[in-house]
A and B are shown apart, each in its own frame.
Chain A
Amino acid sequence: MQQKSKKTNFLLSHFRQGALFFALMVVWAIFAGLTDGMFISPRNLSNLLIQSSITATLTMGMVLVIVTGYIDLSVGAVLGFLGALMVSLLARTGIPWWGVFLITLSAGIAIGLWHGFWISYQKVPAFIVTLASMLVFRGALVGITDGRTLSLESIDQGLGGGWGLEILSALGSGYLPDWGMTFDLNLGTPDGVTVHGSTLVLGALLITAVVFLNSGFAVTLLSLGSAAGALVLSLYQGVPYILLLVLTLAVMCWFVAEKTVFGRRLYAIGGHPEAARYSGINQKLNSFLLFGMMGLLVAIAGILTVARLQAATTSAGQNAELDAIAAAVIGGTSLMGGFGSVWGALLGALIMASLDNGMSLMNLDATYQFVIKGLILLIAVWMDLRSRKE
């Protein structure tokens, strides 16, 4: 009997990840049908992955925040503010580009720790603390940009820019070089198909890594997905730099969540605060540090947003907190705390981005886009709750 319950447990815990992957495939299939295959063209899928990167970055942090039993509503506003801070530092001061990057990242951590201070040590609910920050930094963003768009083009390369601008441009729209490994396949089509060789090599490496590590069903699934993704990407322009960065971050966040003492404590605090307290876990310190980590991820997302838009705008990051929370929840994170995984959240972010992308391709009115996203969020959480009752 115990043997059996173990088996059902195993199936249940992996069913969720599998179901999510399946849901993603269904969404893709539907959009492929509705757009005459345009949605699943290598070019569009490549775009889709780039589009989901920023939400994915925020979602990784959001998962851990929600797992620990908190929420962060400020990520959108802070992201916008930090981006504007970076651009204006590059434009208006002589600080070298690496200094500016460092300041931006540090500012992100500092803002996160500020939240952590109020939440853990002053016991103000996270909802209120981050709601306050959402207002504060939305205001600060308007202040720093004077309500105008700060474009990267206007920055004098000789002043602070230089390499920094190169990096931002690479992150925004650059692809990994092919190192001379391009194959032209003639499949009978008039133009032939160009395959991006280095991407294939990368995909092969990924599959090897998965087989070598074999660390669980979820990782296997996602890595296989990525490998398939690499194949698709190789048919377009290869691997975008931004995707590489986000995948690296994801591996790091997964490591923190699953493999470190810190991560283990976060799950304990969120899952059962009393048991954690009785076990001598320092809830205040761990929560404080968690928000610092969230701040760092927000800063990275802020830099990526500037890179994508090649500018800092007053509307940057608007609704990003809601996308991140929705992605985390669709990815199986429990708002009650204690449950959630980084990989699930990435799938959630991809589903959210797919909805945006697909509906835009269909030229659907913005009105319907919001309505549909809202309803899908509601139904996804409802289905998840029902499956948890088992």
Chain B
Amino acid sequence: MGEHSTAKDSPFLSLSGITKSFGGVAALSGVSLEVSSGQIHALVGENGAGKSTLVKIMIGLYPHGSFQGEFRFEGKACHFTRIADSQKLGINMVFQELSLVPSLSIAENMFLGAEIKGPFGTIHKHQSFVKSKEILKQLNIDLDPNTLVKSLGVGQQQMVEIGKALHKQTKILILDEPTAGLSTLEAESLIDRLKHLRSQGIAIIYISHRLHEVMRLADRITVLRDGQSVATGLTNEFTEDTLISHMVGRSLTQRFPPRKMTPTSMQLSQSEEKEDILSVQNWDVVSPSTGKSILTDITFSLKKGEILGIFGLMGSGRTELALSLFGLMEPKRSQKRLESTLHIDHQKVWNHSAQDAISKGLALVSEDRKQTGLLLDRSVGDNLTLAHLDFFGHHGVVNQELQSQVAQNLIDRLGIKPPQATLAVKNLSGGNQQKVCLGKWLVRTPKVLILDEPTRGVDVGAKYEIYSIMRDLAAQGVGVLMISSDLEEMIGMSDRVMVLAKGKIAAFVEKTDLAQTPELLMTYAVGL
């Protein structure tokens, strides 16, 4: 309405004082960001720092009114209520997960949902073909638009996805970890094409963990940490080291409980040779869908009572390591000389399924509690007992009394609030849901507990409680594998850290070295 500010003077896109919270947990607080046309603006930060939340606001996935703060594009206030609103203005995003239909051709995918129509509302095939060809040319790609998407590699699919965004009169292109699934070569060519797009006046918001890419590509960088923008400036004002220290922050005091001293743990620490509870040799895993190698030659062991941190970026294979140990993904049977082997408590095992793994004493708190951890509509009690129903069965009938007794014990032990076993899990806060995820493996104490991102989306108080439980378990002699992309947690909790980069072990870092140089982990993980 009465806006008279000239679009030229003001930044192309500006966000100021953006605050957004989920169920009382702030994901963003007072974030500001300014992007100009023909500029590549990188957003960096640890997982959970708020990058994805911020871009979801820009594309209208979180509608106007669900956050506080001002959001302007080309000088006008934006009141998006759905994604189509942002697309109409030329803001397009390429998601982390590819959203292409494999059985359709490149041209069909590019115009999916925005088909070029002929005179009778039919799809104008020739026109789509010609336009797709143009877009591919704009991206410098020599591919026939009639090629089926399923016959393309991941890198090429990524390009098609970008092409899909381009035909919509894109002014701002948002890319979330575009190189995560790509080989070095594919990543290089993607970067070249992004520079090419920039020269055509398109602004690009680029989210990535790969700092060397960011340093080479970006014009400006904004660092987010814990939902706040902690630094912003031209790329040449930063070095990779300063970026990392901005990302990690420096306040590493007393957010982690101390190690527990118990008779068991004393015994464990006194004995010269600590006993291995888990040992993994030559672990190779390939992706069941693409056949690409995900993990190669992983060899490590975990001692009783040890917390071994596994650090790595997205796509480093850390989650796949957890899944394959837990029987949800099978490691490759030896085609080469060395066979993948797994020993638990000195016994050689091969887990075909989760029930195999559980019977061997493994437990996995999975990465995504809503997708794979919880039955959200069922009660806390039902969820806590789900993985050990046999234990509660008496001739196949669930012993309700035993169940509610055990559930109540766990609720007290974990401090689950509110402490009611009959409440549906979906009504709990993120932190308490996570405690339920953890609690379901404590019905019987496991030998090895694998935690994948144990505190993602969990508030600070619940974090401390979860850490305390981990310490308790370690003190009882449980071996703990903790996968995390949270550096502070990695440093604060681990006895030792194994760093994974691109499916291989990049380094082992001992406790003593961790405290001195937290940047070390990130350095190994980005593969410097």
Contact = CB atoms under 8 A, between A and B. Distances in A.
A binds B: yes
B358 A280 contact: yes
B214 interface: no
B377 A338 contact: yes
Contacts of A267: 375, 378
B355 A282 contact: yes
Contact of B372 (A5, A255, A271, A274): A274
Contact of A264 (B354, B374, B398): B398
B387 A279 contact: yes
Interface in B418-475: 418, 420, 423-424, 427, 440
Contacts, number: 82
Contacts of B389: 261, 264-265, 281
Contact of A280 (B376, B382, B387, B423): B387
B364 interface: yes
B528 interface: no
A278 B328 contact: yes
Interface string B390-424: 10110011101000000000000000001010011
Contacts of A260: 393, 396-398
Given A2-B427, A261-B393, A282-B355, A275 B375 contact: yes
A241 interface: no
Contacts of B355: 280-282
B371 interface: yes
Interface residues of A, number: 26
Interface string A337-358: 0110000000000000000000
A6 to B, nearest CB: 6
Interface string A60-91: 00000000000000000000000000000000
A9 interface: yes
Q: Is the interface of B mostly helix, strand, loop or mixed?
A: mixed
B375 A262 contact: no
A258 to B, nearest CB: 9
A259 interface: yes
A141 interface: no
A272 interface: yes
Given A2-B427, A5-B427, A278 B354 contact: yes
Contacts of B371: 274-275
Nearest to A271: B375
Contact of B376 (A272, A276, A281): A272
Interface string B355-375: 101100000101000011111
A43 interface: no
A20 interface: no
A255 B396 CA distance: 11
Contact of B423 (A6, A262, A272, A339): A6
Nearest to A8: B427
Contacts of A338: 375, 377
B366 A278 contact: yes
B427 A9 contact: yes
B427 A275 contact: no
A123 interface: no
A261 B373 contact: no
A277 B393 contact: no
Contacts of B375: 267-268, 271-272, 275-276, 338
Contact of B390 (A6, A261, A274, A275): A261
B353 interface: yes
Which 7 A-B pairs have CB atoms at the shortest separation, nearest pair first?
Answer: A280-B354, A280-B355, A261-B393, A280-B358, A279-B387, A261-B389, A278-B372
13 contacts: A9-B424, A261-B389, A261-B396, A261-B397, A262-B396, A275-B372, A277-B372, A278-B364, A279-B354, A279-B387, A280-B353, A280-B355, A281-B355
Given A274-B372, A276-B375, 9 more contacts: A264-B386, A271-B377, A272-B376, A277-B353, A278-B354, A279-B354, A279-B387, A280-B357, A338-B375
